[in-house]
Amino acid sequence: MAELTTWLVEPLAPDVARAVDRMARAPGVRAIAVMPDVHLAGDVCVGTVVATEGRIYPAAVGGDIGCGVATQAFDVEAARLGRAEAAAALRALRILAPVQLRRDPLPWPEDLDPPPAPVARRLAQRQLGTVGRGNHFVELQADDEGTLWAAVHSGSRGAGKAIRDAHVGDRGAFDPLLDASPEGRAYLADLAWARAYARENRRALLDAVAVVLEGLMGASPIGAPTDCDHNHVEPSARGWLHRKGAISARAGEPGIIPGSMATLTYHVEGRGHAEALWSSSHGAGRRCSRTEARRRFDAGRLRAQMGGVFFDDARAGRLVEEAPAAYRDIEAVMRAQRALTRVVRRLRPILSYKGA
């Protein structure tokens, strides 16, 4: 059985413990690190890092390959974003950063050509520069000095799922690909493409935010954006590291850890903790399932939990799955992993744009 280390806010729920144990007993698995945002999601939990020898597990990455967060500072004070500007920004984002499909596709990046066989290029092009549903978002945020920031959370959209499904096929979640086999090499190549596509997607979303803020406030980006993804496979001294809902946190490596719609986002540097497989949480982690959130929360409770953060109030009833109370306390998560990351910056949300 694989070596297991944990950094937890609370004891593992029984179903989560069973899923982790099953992964720990799978062929070729040498170590598992469980992050404080761990929660059940299919056969392999979000918030786990799996080190394997000679084997690749697509299920330990998931379908949204390359999903991650990118952030960008702007040369204006966050206080300038009042209610009128936030409403105008939200209207513009619905057009320039749509949730599902673009009416007018963006130019296709040459370095994404040709897409892998499982990926339908026409769909991938129409989804480039789109947010996606669920916990994906575009946020405008303020740091402790009052500077305005943008953060975007999105991934490889339908392309990543198509790649995962094509390579899993009739296999079970715990039936791995041999890394040196043609099938294993093909998956790794397609995964690298999906990560590149996801980065381009986030870049396009940040570009859309820049257009909106320039038009509203004359704002310009400061410096280069920071981008980190949390669903991938990479080689390491411990073998193949599979991260599903966990960011790389090697010594000095920048990372981004958002909370919920109404709570803080943290910019961090990794501490390079080897027992944590050089990783940390990717967010707050769900406290309850989407089904349970729909039972527990309604539009009124969501509005109360938002605490003044501007969002699409007309869609409140459809956003209850993303209610802040459906997530863990991000500050408790950060305390649980203080050995894994060093906090560089805290940011509070001003505007949260999500699909519903």
Q: What's the angle, vertex CA 68, arms to CA 34 and CA 286, rounded to 5?
A: 50
Question: pLDDT for 168-204, tens place per residue?
Answer: 988 888 999 999 999 999 999 999 999 999 999 999 9
Question: pLDDT for 283-303, tens place per residue?
Answer: 999 999 999 999 999 999 999
Do 245 and 257 contact (CB within 8 A), yes or no? no
pLDDT at 356 over 80: no
How far the first Cα of the chain sits from its last, in Å, is 41
> Would you state the pLDDT for residue 170?
84
Amino acid at 135: N
Give the chain's mean pLDDT.
96
Give the residue numbers spanning the domain of 81: 3-353
Sheet holding 46-52, edge to edge: 3-6, 29-39, 46-52, 239-244, 231-236
Do 312 and 230 contact (CB within 8 A), yes or no? no
CATH number at residue 210: 3.90.1860.10
Q: How far apart are CA 19 and CA 25, in angstroms?
A: 10
Q: How far apart are CA 230 and CA 136, in angstroms?
A: 13
pLDDT at 15 over 80: yes
Question: pLDDT for 89-138, tens place per residue?
Answer: 999 999 999 999 999 999 999 999 999 999 999 999 999 999 999 999 99
What does pTM read for this prediction? 0.96
Residues 6+ apart with CB under 8 A from 14: none
Residues 6+ apart with CB under 8 A from 182: none
Q: How far apart are CA 104 and CA 221, in angstroms?
A: 25
| DSSP code, position 62 | -
Q: H or E element: which one contains 149?
A: strand 147-154
Reading the block at residue 145, the tokens are 């000095």
Q: How far apart are CA 124 and CA 172, in angstroms?
A: 27
> Cis ω on the peptide bond leading into residue 176 (within 30° of 0)?
no
Domains in the chain: how many in total? Answer: 1
The mean per-residue pLDDT over the stretch 303-331 comes to 94
